[in-house]
A and B are shown apart, each in its own frame.
Chain A
Amino acid sequence: DAGVIQSPRHEVTEMGQEVTLRCKPISGHDYLFWYRQTMMRGLELLIYFNNNVPIDDSGMPEDRFSAKMPNASFSTLKIQPSEPRDSAVYFCASSLGGPAYNEQFFGPGTRLTVL
């Protein structure tokens, strides 16, 4: 199994630009999670999906952030416009079942730097 796949692995962009992060979950996993990790705030859940439907987006910082899951094998996290404070490592994770009772498999992450 290839595991969770994320692209790009590194992204450097300038303030105001649109950024799109991509994720392919493990095949057969019904749940997909987007996390952001920074030194100051730790590992934060942004949004998660069940069977392609967003379940909880209360962690999405503001309207500049949006996430979609058009099918079971693909999700995107978009930031428009980007700001320097969005610089972080963004992880995608997937699991077979709900988050309370199931192991989450994390992708390698996308390191985003906004100048």
Chain B
Amino acid sequence: QQPVQSPQAVILREGEDAVINCSSSKALYSVHWYRQKHGEAPIFLMILLKGGEQKGHDKISASFNEKKQQSSLYLTASQLSYSGTYFCGTAGIYNQGGKLIFGQGTELSVKP
């Protein structure tokens, strides 16, 4: 039931773009995205609640395809501060209480 994230790791140069994918085998209420820097707690980025919904925050945006149970996180014109591990968390329709199940994470490194 754990969502699958891809890629597992990505290295970018400042200014480059990246896409992180999250795929679930179960029907979903929502998809959540968090970023965690080394030695720190996960920090919330955004929630996507509706099929086909897209949200954006600065140069980070995401989409949610409810029919395919997939979400993608888009990072454009990456900055050094974007480095960290990105987790998607999925709340499935059949999960008790809609609890989040997190993917294994995608490690993003942005180099100067």
What residues of chain A have their CB less than 8 Å away from a CB belonging to chain B?
42-45, 48, 50, 55-56, 58, 91, 98-109
Inter-subunit contact A48/B102 (CB<8 Å): no
Closest CB in chain A relative to B78 CB, distance in Å: 23
Interface size class of B (residues with CB under 8 A): 20 to 34
Pick from A58, A104, A108: contact of B44, CB under 8 Å = A104
B93's closest neighbor in chain A, by CB?
A100
Query: In the assembled complex, which residues on chain A have CB atoms less than 8 Å from the CB atom of B41?
Result: 91, 106-109
Alpha-carbon separation in the docked complex, A55 to B99 (Å): 10
Number of contacts between A and B (CB, 8 Å)? 60
Q: Which residues of B contact A (CB under 8 A)?
A: 2, 29-30, 32, 40-44, 47, 49, 87, 91, 96-105
Contacts of A102 in B (CB 8 A): 47
Residue of B nearest to A91 (CB): B41
Smallest beta-carbon distance A18→chain B, Å? 25
Contacting pair B101 A45 (CB below 8 A): yes
Complex CA gap A43/B40 in Å reads 13
Do A99 and B44 have beta carbons less than 8 Å apart?
no
The answer, among A42, A50, A99, A109, for a CB contact under 8 Å with B100, is: A99
Tell me which residues across on chain B come within 8 A of A103, comparing CB atoms.
32, 44, 47
Contact of B49 with A101 in the complex, beta carbons under 8 Å: yes
Are B104 and A99 within 8 A (Cβ)? no
Shortest beta-carbon contacts, A-B, top 7: A100-B98, A100-B91, A106-B41, A43-B102, A103-B44, A100-B29, A42-B104
Complex contacts, B43 vs chain A, CB 8 Å:
106
